[in-house]
Amino acid sequence: MLRNYKPLCEAIEKYRNNNVYPFHTPGHKGGRGADKTLLTLMGEKALASDVSLMSELDDIHNPKGCLQEAQNLAAQLYGADVTFFAPNGTTGAIHAMLLGTLAPGDKVLVPRNAHSSVIGGLILGGLRPVYVVPEYSLELSLSLQVKVSAIAEAFAIHEDISAVLVTSPNYYGMTADLPAIAKIAHEHNALLLVDEAHGAHLGFSQKLPASALQCGADAVAQSTHKLLGALTQSSMLHIKGERLVREQVAAAMSLVTTTSPNYLLLASLDCARSQMATEGKLLVEHAIKAANKLRIALAKIPQLKVVDNRIIGQGGVAGLDSTKVMVNVRELGVTGVYVGDELRQSGIAVELVDRDNILFLLTYADDNQEIDEIIGKIVLLFMTLVASQKKVIAQTNYNLPLPRQVLLPRVAFYAAKKECLFKEAMGEICAESISFYPPGIPIIVPGEELTEEIIMYCQELKAAGIPVSGPKDSDLESIQVVKK
């Protein structure tokens, strides 16, 4: 069947089986010169398949053969007009999405729950961000989604917005009301761009929210590796409709993509597409089944707040991806970081921890013989924490206001800088982004004013053991600011 056809994979396998002697890159020459440890890690076939830009394998910058076939099949599956494979990850896809649809100086509406890669795209493109603050849950200490009314209000103030960029679903599986947002954007001749990094599996089951393309998005960046079967760093960029110029998006994609793409990553995208084309509905059902087992088991523990469909309708949340199991642990009297460490000591690693929450990410691969035993271990650990009767930790619950933008991100990025103590940086203009990863959502970006509240918030998260991402000094003792 055509759905099971893997043109890129077949081309790679054919080249490998031809036993051609490689007077070309990569230097390990099909594994002949590979370090023994690397050979053990990857295996002989994988290294023999680590091929270069041979004519039989097509050119990602001007695909006309097997790679173009693979991308066309992906576009058919996801309902796109054109799909680009993104071996530089979704960061590269987001950069290409912004650079390929907007021009320097254009205004783009950006919710502050956007990933740090979006800020990178703003800097690269010289774009003018119009920020909108997503709704916040004091009960869960989580950012939810951006309300449709907030989008409408932004257009009322800034009629010249060229695009709206929305993260949907967010890291926690909560989707925005994309059909309504698409309607508003298109009525104002603006594009709807969606960071759907955590939604490559959406659209394959009516039990999950619809995909962004199904909701009217013009361009969508997906992390095919996050919840499907592609290798880490393998993503896709989909475009649909006549509101954007396909050739410009293709040029931007070429601009930010390596000239030496890893064909193992590209082949994994071909395989993941084929897997979803032939078994997608069944695989997503397996993921939902596994996640529901865990969610039901954890919901029986009164001290835990498990996010479920009751969140829909709150704070701009239009839908919930139930394969994400988000658990608030505040009433246990411990931090999410502490629980994550305890789980790791038990041989279980989770997707995300923050001060009050932990996130379990489940896929079709989790509907296996191990899952009941693993869920039992998780429940036992939580029950042990309940029995310990720890005193609830009094914590400041911050819903940070939008920082004041003094300079455009690009201007601040290239401005003369100085270094100052972070604790004494109040009133300075930040010259670098500060995020805590995961989820990698910036608390402050270049060009914004550092306030006492922001400094205190960052110090509290750092004290809780959450890793800092972005600043030159990852200990947050010092910070780069714009020299006045």
pLDDT at 461: 82
| Residues 252 and 267 reside in one and the same domain | yes
Among candidate residues 276, 304, 329, the one where a domain is terminated: 276
In a domain, 83, yes or no: yes
Q: Hey, what are 23's tokens?
A: 């007077």
| Residues 150 and 10 reside in one and the same domain | yes
Q: From CA 261, how far away is CA 50, in angstroms rounded? A: 10
| Residues 247 and 284 reside in one and the same domain | no
Among candidate residues 387, 417, 445, the one where a domain is terminated: 387
Q: From CA 189, how far away is CA 160, in angstroms rounded? A: 9
Single pTM value for the model: 0.94
CA distances from 193 to 90, 250, 372 (A): 13, 16, 39
| Residues 135 and 47 reside in one and the same domain | yes
What φ, ψ does residue 481 adopt, rounded to 5°?
A: -130, 165
Q: Hey, what are 221's tokens?
A: 């960046």
| Residues 246 and 120 reside in one and the same domain | yes
pLDDT at 429: 97
pLDDT at 472: 85
Q: Hey, what are 238's tokens?
A: 């989909």
| Residues 169 and 236 reside in one and the same domain | yes
Could you give the angle at the alpha carbon of 211 between the alpha carbons of 67 and 136, nearest 5°? 125
| Residues 428 and 362 reside in one and the same domain | no
CATH number for position 478: 3.90.105.10
Q: Could you tell me which residues are beta bridge partners of residue 137?
A: 142
Q: From CA 361, how far away is CA 287, in angstroms rounded? A: 10
| Residues 417 and 432 reside in one and the same domain | yes
CATH number for position 366: 3.90.1150.10
The number of distinct structural domains making up the chain is 3
**Contact assessment for residue 225 and residue 234, using Cβ atoms and an 8 Å cutoff:** yes
Q: Hey, what are 240's tokens?
A: 């649909």
Nearest residue to 100 (alpha-carbon basis) of 79, 114, 113, 86:
86
Nearest residue to 292 (alpha-carbon basis) of 208, 199, 386:
208
In a domain, 247, yes or no: yes
pLDDT at 391: 57
Q: Hey, what are 443's tokens?
A: 């608390």
Spatial neighbors of 194 by CB under 8 A, at least 6 apart, are: 165, 166, 167, 168, 178, 212, 217, 219, 220, 221
Tally the C-alpha atoms within 13 A of residue 398's C-alpha that lie toward its C-beta: 15
| Residues 208 and 296 reside in one and the same domain | no
In a domain, 260, yes or no: yes
Instruction: Supply the range of the domain harboring residue 190.
Output: 2-276
In a domain, 28, yes or no: yes
CATH number for position 147: 3.40.640.10
In a domain, 206, yes or no: yes
Please, what's the b/e burial string for 401-436 (b: 16 or more CB within 10 A of its CB; e: otherwise)? eebebebbbbebbebebeeeebeebeebbbbbbbbb
| Residues 118 and 241 reside in one and the same domain | yes
Q: From CA 377, how far away is CA 346, in angstroms rounded? A: 8
pLDDT at 293: 97
In a domain, 395, yes or no: no
pLDDT at 469: 80
In a domain, 393, yes or no: no
| Residues 260 and 139 reside in one and the same domain | yes
**Contact assessment for residue 321 and residue 396, using Cβ atoms and an 8 Å cutoff:** no
CA-CA-CA-CA torsion for 336, 342, 348, 350, nearest 10 degrees?
A: 10
| Residues 284 and 262 reside in one and the same domain | no
Residue ranges of the chain with per-residue pLDDT less than 70: 1-2, 389-399, 438
pLDDT at 397: 56
Judge if the upstream peptide bond of residue 401 is cis by omega within 30 degrees of 0. no
In a domain, 397, yes or no: no
Among candidate residues 355, 387, 419, the one where a domain is terminated: 387
